[in-house]
Amino acid sequence: MPWFQAQMAELQRLAEEYALSQQQTASNIVNVSEKMRLKRAEFIDAVQVLVDKIGKIKGISACAAYHDGLILAQSAHPAAIDAFGATLQESARAAQQGAALLGLGELEQIVIVGAKNKVAMLSIGPLMLCISSPKQINLALALNRPH
């Protein structure tokens, strides 16, 4: 399995474990809360590690992870981090409505290509991973090179 696909599969697994920890019955609220906190921290830490690695890939301008338009992790300091979040939130909202009308199922990715740059938004559990690069960069190739 290529590097990026393996990373996404691992994050999806961690997101599912975190979601399951939130659904635990509260027979022992202290243990359930601690397990949920640990699963959340494990997921968020893995997201930050991936965002950092992606941000260092040649040809990638920036990478950030958002939940409901709020930033959870970012590589270095993307120039327009607030615009990144606003674009994500508005694009995701419009795409979700369109996906529902067209019967596409749950959104997996959105790509916006401009004359100079592009932004790819990928769904990972409860958050969106945003990757910005110059238009001519083939993100699939860049993300699947050995790191």
Q: Which amino acid is at 37?
A: R
pLDDT, one tens digit per residue, over 16-31 is 888 888 776 666 666 7
pLDDT, one tens digit per residue, over 63-80 is 999 887 778 888 876 667
Domain boundaries, the chain: 3-143
User: CA 126 → CA 1, 33, 146, distances in Å?
Assistant: 23, 19, 27
Number of neighbours of residue 112 by Cβ within 10 angstroms = 14
CATH for 3-143, among 3.20.170.30, 3.40.640.10, 3.30.450.30, 3.30.70.100? 3.30.450.30
pLDDT band at 34 (very low <50, low <70, confident <90, very high): confident
Give the mean model confidence (pLDDT) for residues 83-95. Answer: 80
pTM exceeding the 0.85 threshold for the entire prediction = no
